[in-house]
Structure 1
Amino acid sequence: MTLSWFQIVRLGLVQMCLGAIVVLTTSTLNRLMVVELSLAAILPGALVALHYGVQLTRPHWGYASDRGGARTRFMIGGMAVLGLGAFLAALAVLLFPASFAGAMALSVLAYVMIGFGVGASGTSLLALLATATAERRRAAAATITWLMMILGIALTAGVVGAMLDPYTPALLMKIVGIVTLGATLLTILAVWGIEASVVQERQPETAPFREGLAQVWAEPRARNFTLFVFLSMTAYFMQELILEPYAGLVFSFTPGQSTQLSGAQNGGVFLGMLAVGIAATGLRIGQLRHWVIAGCLGSALSLGAISAVGPSALPGLLVPAVVSLGLFNGMFAVAAIGSMMAMAGEGRAQREGTRMGLWGAAQAIAAGFGGLTGAAAVDALRFGLPDAQAFGVVFLCEAALFVAAAIMAAKIMDRGRTPALVPGE
């Protein structure tokens, strides 16, 4: 028995909860450290990179799924650890004025927990989708679950942004507590009973972890796609830690306004994903490779626009440029994820979870590397350049990486090999 559409939507709620919690740490808490506490951008950048570094354990979670692991337990337990980590991260922000060393120690613990939580819950979810979803539904399942994740990010950023003004430490802790506890409870309700109802018509993985991972890496398509994921996701995440500080330092946005800007960006991501789904499904326009390339090139142009509006410091120009970036990011992301889900079953059998874990690890490395590099570059450039120019140079470098990713996608994503985004029944 395979997952029904209703069960796929229920699992999508887990992705929505993941996005809702993570956006608090990468957007709101990051902005508070850089702008309100006047800390160097490299500090939150290093913490976020730490949580991505911990996600190098993703192949192990995928391997456990290939061996028939208890995915429900991993998803629920991972979400609980993630929620607690996010709450401790918010508490650490409030401790910085009193004790920098104590706040840093608590922050390190919190972001390690965040990394383990995302890795355990997210990879187990993807492994369940890859192994229990009918082949004709895999790309559609990826689209549905990621749309729900972006919806969770956009709604959380928008609502939290509106509620956070006027900002107070007590209000921050109250909001973070509500979001993290609510996400954990919703995850329990969403996944309960699904895994037990799905009969896996396969033998569990028996090969040792290193052998299984080496076999997947030896597959040319899996290896090339891993390298593409790393390059494109480095570009995707370079702006993650600097966009809100950019809005605050250059455009004088308040914490609530910059959080709402992040919500607007992710609203654009949602619309981009939805547009590709409609075009590829209902209108049958283009292959996945076309949408990946278009999304990368459009993201590069949008980053150029964000860089260009900095010297003007006009908020009315920044917002549409950021929404445009989100739109093209969404186009690229859903097409790449659709390819990932479709390719998970290619090559040696019984390696779906390991492949998803490998690509998830590549994404995590790229996210940490890209975010940390962007933050460090801004810190260095601000010593010799005005804020608008310093941020602008980094945005232009990110645009160049997106162009390189588009070129790579054109070479490695074979014409006619990638399926339609949502295959017909």
Structure 2
Amino acid sequence: MSTKTLGWLGIVRIGLVQSAIGAMVMLVTSLLNRVMVVEYALPAALPAGLVAWHYAVQLSRPAWGHGSDQGNRRTPWIVFGMALLAIGALVSVNAVPLLAERVALGYFVAVIGYSMIGAGVGAAGTSLLALLAGQVAPERRAAAASITWIMMVLGIVITAGVAGSLIDPYSLQRLAMVASGVALVAFVVALLALWGLEHPRQRLMVAAQDAPSVGFGAALREMLAETDARQFTIFVFLSMLAYSMQDMILEPFAGLLFDYTPGQSTQLSGMQHGGVLVGMIVVGFLGSAFGGGTPASLRRWIVGGCVGSAVALAGLAVAAQVGAAWPLTINIVLLGFANGVFAVAAIGAMMGLAGAQGPSRSGIRMGVWGASQAIAFGLGGLIGAVGVDIGRALAGADAPAFLIVFAGEAALFLVAAWLAMSVSRSRDPARRSASPNAPARVNLPQEVAA
């Protein structure tokens, strides 16, 4: 258990690590996607399948989180994950020319590379979130979630801009140099940000001996037996499924029904992400300035964000019928804003619930929720796109297909809002520790680090 909490500078440093993770993931999920399809004329399904595979590998998150729970430091797990992620990114880059020349070997190398990326994100990301949950004061959790996720988005944006400018005119040598530079800079930034950041958790003596360690299976069963944790896992899956279903269909929607050009639809997507950032900033600011870090307040933000997302998606369903007369840009910005509100508030609530059984359980909890999110992201885009394709084939028109998918997303967000409200309103750590089934532990006073 930690005797200190992180100050604002420490939270920003964790945000830098999150930025480094985002930068390396962008390299393979965005840049390599374009290179495979455009420069090497490979089927679009190939990079899409590899990205889906890297999400599947992240089902290992609970195991990584449980591993980081067993020691008194999470930093080694984060550094290991970052190293694995960097090496996996470089292996994936080297697989690209092999895919065009020696297909079987190329597939093998690509799967190895993307497996390392998924495992690296799982190890580093899960342990980083557990560190954030364990060493950030409750009243700062909403702001901490906003800061770290905003920095991750900024890291992706900056890396995309820099890498995009350096890779032209394209050549395999330039791709290798840019990828190596991104991986090296991101890894070094993460190392510097982590240096001396973590306060080691102190193992407390209970009844003259340390509490026995719990195996992975027992820890997982213990978590899923808890009603709040189990309901929150379902909430994360459903809300992130709804969140990601729109990813693959918004730009085609704008092009097919509103006659947007590729440039205009890309700008529309940028405005949506701008709305997400504004929503994150609003929750972070109000959460810090007006005591929004309490469980009840975070729950209100979550429910409000989910309901707002449902309303915005219902608006898009109506837009599919109304057509060009509908204020599409405003609708998309409001959707992004509501998405940002619910996402950051959910992360803040996740950090609070992660520590409900003490820091020795926060890693596996973050791992389970991270795995649930990864499954949702992997399925969401696919379900949205396939749903539109099936709808267009059955209805013989575009508008009914988009209407059905957007309405389905709205319904998922409403179910997620109901689940968020159903989680207990108060999970008092003192009361929990008094429970006969709770692990024995001692609460130490906390002091805020400068």
Q: TM-score normalized by structure 1?
A: 0.80
Pairing 1:63–2:66 present: yes
- Between the aligned partners of 1:49 and 1:399, the Cα distance in structure 2 is 24
Per the TM alignment, residue 221 of structure 1 is displaced from its structure 2 partner at its CA by 1.0
**C-alpha contact (below 8 Å) 1:12/1:146 kept by paired residues:** yes
Deviation at 1:115, TM superposition (A): 0.6
- Deviation of residue 138 (structure 1)? 4.2
| Residue equivalent to 1:345 | 355
Question: Is it true that 1:143 corresponds to 2:152 in the alignment?
Answer: no
Range 102-111 or range 214-223, more displaced: 102-111
SS at match of 1:354: helix
Shift of residue 339, structure 1, vs aligned partner: 0.7
Instruction: Confirm or deny: 8 A CA contact 2:143 2:283 kept in the other structure.
Output: no
1:240–1:35 CA distance, 2 compared to 1 (3 A): farther
CA change 1:9–1:176 in 2 (3 A) is same
Within-5 A mapping of 1:180-199: 180-195=183-198, 198-199=199-200
Q: In the alignment, what sits opposite 2:121? A: 118
Which residue type is aligned with residue 202 of structure 2?
E
SS of 1:206's equivalent in the other structure is coil
Q: Distance between the aligned counterparts of 1:383 and 1:86, measured in 2?
A: 38
Q: Tell me the residue number matched to 1:210.
A: 217
**2:229 is aligned with 1:219:** no
Q: Does 1:14 align with 2:17?
A: yes
Structure 1 residues without counterparts, runs of 5 or longer: 420-424
Q: CA deviation at 1:220?
A: 1.1
| CA–CA distance in structure 2, aligned partners of residues 313 and 165 of structure 1 | 39
Quote how far apart the aligned CAs of 1:295 are.
1.2
Alignment map for 1:16-415 (pairs within 5 Å): 16-30=19-33, 43-68=46-71, 70-90=73-93, 92=95, 98=101, 101-157=104-160, 159=161, 163=165, 168=170, 170=172, 175-195=178-198, 198-203=199-204, 206-243=213-250, 251-253=260-262, 263-283=270-290, 287-305=297-315, 321-347=331-357, 350-378=360-388, 380=390, 393-412=404-423, 414=425
Residues 284 and 206 of structure 1, relative CA distance in 2, 3 Å threshold? closer
Is the 2:310–2:410 Cα contact (8 Å) retained in structure 1? yes
Which of 1 and 2 has greater Rg? 2
| CA apart distance, 1:334 | 0.9
Deviates more, 1:6-15 or 1:305-314: 305-314
Partners of 2:202 and 2:73 in 1: how far apart? 16
User: Contact 2:143–2:288 (CA<8 Å) still a contact in 1?
Assistant: no
Establish whether residue 4 from structure 1 lines up as the match of residue 13 from structure 2.
no
**1:79 CA displacement:** 1.7
Aligned partners of 1:19 and 1:149 also within 8 Å: yes
Measure how far apart 1:208 and its partner are.
1.4
Indicate conservation of the 8 Å contact 1:15/1:122, yes or no.
yes
Name the stretch that deviates more: 272-281 or 372-381. 372-381
Q: Secondary structure in 1 aligned to 2:381? A: helix
Deviation by residue 1:21-74 (Cα, 9 ceiling, x = unmatched): 323444454466678878776544432221121112111121112211652222
Aligned-residue identity in percent:
49
Instruction: Decide whether the 8 Å contact of 1:11 with 1:191 is kept in 2.
Output: yes
1:104, distance to aligned residue in structure 2 (A)? 3.6
Give the corresponding residue for 2:436. Answer: none
Q: Equivalents in 2 of 1:362, 1:48: separation in Å? A: 16
Q: Post-superposition shift, 1:110? A: 2.4
CA drift at 1:165: 9.8
Q: Which amino acid aligns with 1:150?
A: V
- C-alpha spacing 1:235/1:37, structure 2 compared with 1 (3 Å): farther
Question: In the comparison of the two structures, how many residue pairs are matched?
Answer: 413
* Stretch deviating more after TM superposition (316-325 or 368-377): 316-325
Asked if structure 2 preserves the Cα contact closer than 8 Å seen for 1:226 and 1:359, the reply is yes
Equivalent residue of 2:360, what SS? coil
SS in 1 for 2:262: coil
Do the aligned residues in 2 keep the contact of 1:61 with 1:357 (CA within 8 Å)? yes
Give the aligned residue type for 1:221: D
SS of match in other structure, 2:12:
helix
Evaluate the alpha carbon distance shift between residue 345 and residue 398 of structure 1 in structure 2; reply closer, same or farther with a 3 A threshold: same
User: Structure 1's 194 and 358: CA in aligned 2 closer, same or farther, altered over 3 A?
Assistant: same
Matching residue's letter, 1:278: F
- Give the drift of 1:13: 0.8
Q: Distance in 2 between matches of 1:77 and 1:303?
A: 40
Contact residue 154 and residue 263 of structure 1 kept, 8 A: no
Matched to 2:149, the amino acid is W
Which deviates the most, 116-125 or 305-314? 305-314
CA shift for structure 1 position 346: 1.5
Scaled by the length of structure 2, what TM-score is found?
0.77
In 2, Cα distance between the equivalents of 1:417 and 1:21? 37
8 Å CA contact 2:298–2:348 kept in 1: the answer is: yes
Distance 1:33 1:364 in 2: 23
Q: Distance in 1 between matches of 2:240 and 2:410?
A: 12
Q: 1:381 to 1:352 in 2, by over 3 A?
A: same
1:41, 1:375 within 8 Å by CA — same for their partners in 2? no
